[in-house]
Amino acid sequence: MIEFGVLSISLLVGTAQGLVLALMLWRAPANRAANRWLALLIVAVAALITPYIIGFAGFYDRWPWLSFTPLSYTLAFGPLLWLYATTLCGRPPERAWPHFAPFAVQFAADALVFPFPLETKDWWDTVAHAPIIAPMLRVATFISLAVYGRLAWRCWADYRRWLGENVTDAVDFNPDWIRNFLIALGLVTLVWLGFFIANVRDPSRNYFDQFWLYVIFSGLVIYLGVEGWRHAAMRYPVPADAVEEAVPTGRDWAALGARFEAEIEAKGLWRDPDLTAASLARALGTNSNYLARAFNEGLGANFNAVINRRRVREVQSWLADPTETRAILTMAMDAGFRSKASFNRAFAEFAGMTPTQARSSQARLKS
């Protein structure tokens, strides 16, 4: 008898919400490729939950031939999370399909057995699938998640570093959602590993003992869908391909950094809200490698710090002017900042206080 009780409905509600969000991500016009990788990951996790939704409802008791329905796509989890991170950060691989070869093997392990009679499937499960194939595929899944999770984490860290060194409004493109997404997957994987170890130590555990694990998976589906949708329209700056150019040894980077800084000041280049490290290098008649070395080694600060520090000084000078009546945010935009968030963060870093505190202190000095 088919009956959707508390267990099956609890999993169904969360999984259904996640699938709706996955559809929205698939149809999102911005970041199309990245959002579709995330949508596929949500679908893959939902597929893993599905046998427990229908199992708790009695489907397998009513129709035992449903065994070996190919719904386990766990070896796709790692490649999908990595492809989402790399594509969102503007570094997608040239070819994605080779990364899904292990998943194809996993899919075949169920799909090839599914059409056989129930007696044959039961025999195969007893002699091969349950004792050998299923544990091997689960261990392979944990290894895959660890490897691809590490690659995705490195991608996020490299991109975050690139943002800080190449754009002045990096705070507006904070990619830490990728970090949070990876941490959430990592925590769920650790819980999953714990359940796997418990099952190995006690083979008598059945699928009712797995309920809370799949509640967690259901929560993961909702989290990925909601947060993924929140970030679906964010257009992250795309890193340009680095051009390796020979940099001479023994260069006086301090002198070069001072010269670049003087040119930036003389030409007022820091006022450009669209300024990037690449565009600044072109304006100074140099290349990105020279500019980075001159700033980092010569001035002891990266591109972001050099430009935003100059912008903050300009706003501070305006705040100190007793005749100045512009709003603080207007000053920030006039100084080259593109958003309130990037201005507030830079001002706090280089002035040691908030813009409002600075204006209040100047008002007390004037009175």
Find the radius of gyration of the CA atoms of the chain.
Answer: 28
Q: Is the pLDDT of residue 279 over 60?
A: yes
Confidence of residue 242 (pLDDT cuts 50, 70, 90): very low
Residue 364 is predicted with a pLDDT of 59
Give the integer Cα–Cα distance in Å for 157 and 169. 17
Q: Is the dihedral of CA 241, 245, 251, 256 positive or negative?
A: negative
> Could you report the per-residue pLDDT of 348-360, keeping only the tens digit for each?
999 998 888 887 7
CA angle in degrees (0–180, nearest 5) for 213-214-215: 90
Q: Which residue has the tokens 């999993």?
A: 11
Q: Is the pLDDT of residue 204 over 50?
A: yes
**Token pair for 246:** 């020979």
CA proximity to 199, closest of 210, 189, 187, 191 = 210
Is residue 299 within 8 A of residue 306, CB to CB? The reply is yes
Q: Which residues pair with 276 in a beta bridge?
A: 167
Residue 243 is predicted with a pLDDT of 47
Residues whose CB falls within 8 Å of the CB of residue 316, separated by 6 or more in sequence, listed in order: 351, 358
> Could you report the per-residue pLDDT of 70-83, keeping only the tens digit for each?
999 999 999 999 99
Q: Is the dihedral of CA 224, 229, 234, 238 positive or negative?
A: positive
DSSP 294: I
Confidence of residue 241 (pLDDT cuts 50, 70, 90): low
CA proximity to 69, closest of 54, 79, 91, 86 = 54
| Integer CA distances (angstroms), 340 to 335, 346, 354, 365, in order | 12, 10, 12, 25
Range with the largest mean pLDDT of 156-165, 185-194, 230-239, 344-353:
185-194
Residue 148 is predicted with a pLDDT of 97
> Could you report the per-residue pLDDT of 294-339, keeping only the tens digit for each?
999 999 999 999 999 999 999 999 988 888 888 999 999 999 998 8
Fold of 253-366: Arc Repressor Mutant, subunit A (1.10.10)
Give the integer Cα–Cα distance in Å for 314 and 331. 9
Q: Is the dihedral of CA 278, 284, 290, 293 positive or negative?
A: negative
Is residue 168 within 8 A of residue 342, CB to CB? The reply is yes
Give the integer Cα–Cα distance in Å for 202 and 79. 31
- Collapsing DSSP to helix, strand or coil, 291 comes out as helix
Residue 265 is predicted with a pLDDT of 93
Confidence of residue 363 (pLDDT cuts 50, 70, 90): low
Give the integer Cα–Cα distance in Å for 315 and 309. 10
Q: Is the pLDDT of residue 113 over 60?
A: yes
Is residue 262 within 8 A of residue 310, CB to CB? The reply is no
Q: Which residue has the tokens 């949500």?
A: 42
Q: Is the pLDDT of residue 209 over 60?
A: yes
| Integer CA distances (angstroms), 194 to 49, 73, 139, 191, 339, in order | 17, 20, 12, 5, 45
Give me the helix-helix angle, 355-366 and 340-351, nearest 10°.
Answer: 60
Report the C-alpha dihedral over residues 357, 358, 360, 363, rounded to 10 degrees: 170
> Could you report the per-residue pLDDT of 118-153, keeping only the tens digit for each?
999 999 999 999 999 999 999 999 999 999 999 999
